[in-house]
Structure formats: structure tokens, C-alpha cells
Amino acid sequence: MLVGVLGGGQLGRMLAMAGLPLGLRFRFFDPSPEAPAREVGELVVGSFDDAQALDRFSAGLDVATFEFENVPLAAAERVAGRVTMHPSPRALATGQDRLSEKMLFREVGVGVHDFAPAGSDAEVRSAAATLGLPLIAKTRRMGYDGKGQKVLRHEADVAVCWAELGGVPLLLERLVPFEREVSVVACRGVGGEFAAYPLTQNTHVRGILRESAAPAADPGGRLGEEAARHARRIMERLGYVGVAAVEFFVRGGELLANEMAPRVHNSGHWTIDGCQCSQFENHCRAIAGLPLGPTAARAPSVMVNLIGHVPSAAEVLRLPGAHLHLYGKAPRPGRKVGHVTLVGPDAVAGAERVAALSPIT
């Protein structure tokens, strides 16, 4: 079975590393000849608006998917017109717009903090007056790793917000004084089968995920069950096939949904080493119409993202239960170049060592 993946980043690379043993083969589409997935499959280099390149990519595929949520919708739709695509372009479209994500959460009864869209400077001012400060303004589209965001604490921030964020449609949200951030990674099969991984606790530094620990502290398992129920309702509403993640704030012990990703997710990387069947394998299984695999954690796990710095492999691998994953990317400030997952009783101490060995640059 030949799987086509729009995007050839580290997520695509890890999908292939999980799918190859299942007998799947991979072809990637990416604008860069240096795409990290080039080492694990065929790479079609092209621009997402090059219809001919997209058609060359689509020819002979059995199924298509995407690993990058900012794939232009028209490109996804063109490929989906020729070959079955999981998840669907509709799910991609929802995940590309912060406003449609939040409206979907509300529609299916998932708790969200207050928000309002703003399409002009005047609308920023009136939304700020209605919601009250402090707020966080986010571009509705194309934001990632905390990019395209601005915290509004004072009237002066409101006044410059529209211009500073580039004069594009925004979503204004109440700034949530959360106790912690958690996420759920879940998978839905072609027949509607559903499985969710244990709740994961995430720590961000300057808007970029630095660390994910799983299973998250969750007395009685209440939050994990609720997060999985939420993910299931969202996925059912979208007729979703494959892996998706939903990020939440925990505030007063309750979940507030922040955003979703219609793809495998950084907060699920620990499942490669910490679970019997990783998020990458389960995404492959789901889109190939195969039975889903078990999602229980083998042991407590902590994943540390390597951001802008590649540590010495020998020093990392000396730590008990350490698994090193490098993406084959040149280090640049703020760029995720790999991750380390520590599995077992020493995971928390090991994660502290990795963070010290590999400072964020």
C-alpha cells in the first residue's frame, strides 16, 4: 500500500518509521528538497500551488494524508479529488482556523474560554472592551509555536494589536490563568473505532512545547476520561479518520479546550517509546483501514523537545530509559530538531538532565 503524505517534516518521517514495518510505503510532498522525510520515502518536491506536481504526487497512491496543518486547502482538495484522503479536507479546514475550531468545540459541548473574532482595528477595540483585559490576540490562520500571538494587558497593547499582527483576521481570547496545560491524542478508525492515549501534561516555553509528561496526574482518571469523551465527540462530528490532538487548559480543576490539531501531535511523541502502539503507528493503521492498536502507557514517560540545539548522543543515551530521536534538521534558533523520551521510574530526573544538556536556543 502506497501512502501519500502532504508535508515532509519530522511528523511525516516518524509516520513512515512506524508504517514501514506494517508493509506500507510512503511518498511525501514538500516544497523543500531538504525535508526530513526524504530519508524514509520518495519525496516529490513542489510548491503547494503547483497542480501538476500535486497530480504527479497523487498518481498511484492508495491513500493520502497530511502531516502539516497549514497545507493550503486547495492543494489538499486537489489530491482528495484523486485519492481517498484521511483525515478529510473538511477536518483540515476546521483545524486551520482558530475560530472554526472554537465554534466546533462549543457546538459539541466542549468547554472553552470566552473569545471573539476581530476583522479590523475597530473590531479589536470593541472586542477588547466587551471581553475585558487581559486578552491574547492570535492570527486565525497560520500560527504555530506561539507565532502570530500578542498578549494584551493594557489599552496601549490594544491600540497597536491590529497593526502588529499584520492586519489579518484575528481571534481574541481571554487570557486563562491556568493551573496546567494538558492534551489528549486520540485515534478514530474507518469504522468509527476509537482509542485515546493517556492524558499528557505539557510545558511551553515562549509558546513552544518543551516538555510532555504522561500519564498526567489525574486522581480518579476523571480529566482523562472527559478529555477522551471530548475528542471523540469532535472526531465524530467531523467524520474523522486518523489521529488528532486536543489541547486544554486546566482551570479550577476543569478542562477548557484551547485548540486542536488534525494530525499526529508533538505531545504524542512519547507514545513511540512509552506505549505498545505509538500515535504514528495508530495513524497509519487508521488510514490503512487496519485494526487500531493498544494506547495504554507502558511506564511513566517524559518527552523533552530539542529546540535549536542537538546534544551529544552519548551523553543523552547514558541516561536510564532515554530514547533519542533526531529529525535530520540543521539547528536554528526556535527550531525543533529532535526530542528525547525518558521512560520508567527515572523519567523526571532524566528529563531535567536532558534540559540541562540541551538548552533552548
Cβ closest to ligand ADP, residue 99 vs residue 175: 175
User: Which residue minimizes CB distance to ligand ADP?
Assistant: 176
Instruction: Let me know: does 301 contact 270? Beta carbons within 8 Å.
Output: yes
- Grid coordinates given for 279: 500515535
Residues in the chain: 361
Cβ closest to ligand ADP, residue 30 vs residue 97: 97
Cβ closest to ligand ADP, residue 260 vs residue 277: 260
Rounded to whole angstroms, the Cα distance separating 196 from 92 reads 20
- Positions in 163-222 near ligand ADP (CB under 6 A): 173, 175-176, 181, 204, 207
How is the chain split among helix, strand and coil, in percent rounded to 5? 35, 30, 35
Rounded to whole angstroms, the Cα distance separating 119 from 171 reads 9
CB of 5 to ligand ADP, least distance (A): 21
Cβ closest to ligand ADP, residue 35 vs residue 137: 137
Q: How many residues bind ligand ADP (CB under 6 A)?
A: 15
- Positions in 115-154 near ligand ADP (CB under 6 A): 136, 143-146
- Residues facing residue 174 across a β-bridge: 135
Rounded to whole angstroms, the Cα distance separating 51 from 357 reads 45
**Should residue 101 be labelled a site residue for ligand ADP when binding is judged by CB under 6 A?**
no
Rounded to whole angstroms, the Cα distance separating 43 from 56 reads 11
**Should residue 331 be labelled a site residue for ligand ADP when binding is judged by CB under 6 A?**
no
CB of 248 to ligand ADP, least distance (A): 10
Closest listed residue to residue 268, CA positions, set 160, 180, 73, 260 = 260
Cβ closest to ligand ADP, residue 106 vs residue 298: 106
CB of 279 to ligand ADP, least distance (A): 17
**Should residue 259 be labelled a site residue for ligand ADP when binding is judged by CB under 6 A?**
yes
Closest listed residue to residue 241, CA positions, set 292, 184, 293, 197 = 292
- Residues facing residue 183 across a β-bridge: 200, 247
**Should residue 247 be labelled a site residue for ligand ADP when binding is judged by CB under 6 A?**
yes
- Positions in 264-283 near ligand ADP (CB under 6 A): none
Instruction: Let me know: does 205 contact 49? Beta carbons within 8 Å.
Output: no
Burial (Cβ within 10 Å: 0-12, 13-18, ≥19) of residue 14: buried
Cβ closest to ligand ADP, residue 79 vs residue 184: 184
Closest listed residue to residue 185, CA positions, set 196, 173, 170 = 196
**Should residue 258 be labelled a site residue for ligand ADP when binding is judged by CB under 6 A?**
yes
CB of 182 to ligand ADP, least distance (A): 11
Cβ closest to ligand ADP, residue 101 vs residue 281: 101
- Residues near ligand ADP (CB under 6 A) are 113, 136, 143-146, 173, 175-176, 181, 204, 207, 247, 258-259
